[in-house]
Structure 1
């Protein structure tokens, strides 16, 4: 029991990882724990739009663990163009340590989910990636492009980075986002 309690208390650190997008109707930036919770619910809500049958329990579990490595690395804006290999290696070391706090079978199961998400080769991982990539876009659209404007993000950067995983994991969601991104560009929210 103590190992599980220690693990859950270690996860509390994810609440301190500040992201680049503000929560709606607030000057406060969201944290990675809030992001994980919100995309898990987004994915659950989008289940009827999955391009292929998915095990939603696996999808939600992946989304709940996918950013735990940020406890040690912090958040990097999704549009960053370099440093991803080093960052992912650091995240893997972090999640290996944290999942190692659990009894072996539980820790291995969570590490396998984290690795499955990173590889993005299963239907569940592709669907999880679609939700993960879409949520910051949805927040930016609702916040008049707040994070895009603050970070000088260009329309083509969003399309190139967000389009493929969303289109691959949930085409209906990409259809929805694509027209809204064009509107955001027209409004000057994207460089």
Structure 2
């Protein structure tokens, strides 16, 4: 098992509960080191998971008005901030990595047990419930959070004139299929996303669909 960051430099005694919380907060600093495949719009490098999560939180704040159902914006922001924490241990699984997707659920569930288990029991249950809510997409907030998670890389790929759309075997139909969950939460945003994909296909930034 990977040693938590504070194993290298243990905190002084600040109390059991606060100590566990601070150790967790230090551990999630690792999210800044998890690279995603999406290229940044503002620089010639790939984004990391912490940057991705921040961007999703901003998108929820700005785009909440387009949700098909009323959502609690604060709760939705919490969902997008929590959902990728498991990638600290499970790693990022790119959307178009079909082989990696076969083991993604198992790897991420194991990571959730390990990471959230660093917290006091009540908060471990709370954050795990938030992560499960996002994954299950049973609430309006979770569906909108998932839609943001799919829309954000679409915008970055557009700015990169294709980006990960150039993955071998990926076509415009593949992109539409993997992004269709946007439509589960917002008809207007799915209309916009579909227009972006179609224009990318027209410009040759993604292989044509059937």
TM-score band, normalised by shorter chain: over 0.9
Q: Which residue of 2 is the match for residue 34 of structure 1?
A: 51
Q: Normalising by the residue count of structure 2, what TM-score does the alignment of the two structures yield?
A: 0.86
Does 2:183 align with 1:167?
yes
Superposition pairs of residues 113-132 of structure 1, within 5 angstroms: 113-132=130-149
Residue 150 of structure 1: CA displacement? 5.0
Q: Which residue of 2 is the match for residue 135 of structure 1?
A: 152
Q: Which of the two has higher C-alpha Rg?
A: 2
Residue 25 of structure 1: CA displacement? 3.3
* Rounded Cα–Cα distance in structure 2 between residues aligned with 1:38 and 1:176: 18
Structure 2: give runs of 5+ residues left out of the alignment.
1-17
Structure 1: give runs of 5+ residues left out of the alignment.
none
Superposition pairs of residues 1-191 of structure 1, within 5 angstroms: 1-84=18-101, 86-151=103-168, 153-163=170-180, 165-191=181-207
Structure 2 contact 93–100 (Cα < 8 Å) conserved: no
Q: Normalising by the residue count of structure 1, what TM-score does the alignment of the two structures yield?
A: 0.94
| Partner deviation per Cα, 1:105-152 (whole Å, 9 max, x = no partner) | 111111000001111111111111100011000111112112212555
Q: How many residues align?
A: 190
* Rounded Cα–Cα distance in structure 2 between residues aligned with 1:185 and 1:155: 6
Pairwise CA RMSD: 1.4
Point out the structure with the larger helix share. Answer: 1
Greater relative contact order, per chain length (Cα 8 Å cut-off, separation 6+) = 1
Structure 1 contact 152–190 (Cα < 8 Å) conserved: no
Structure 2 contact 86–108 (Cα < 8 Å) conserved: yes
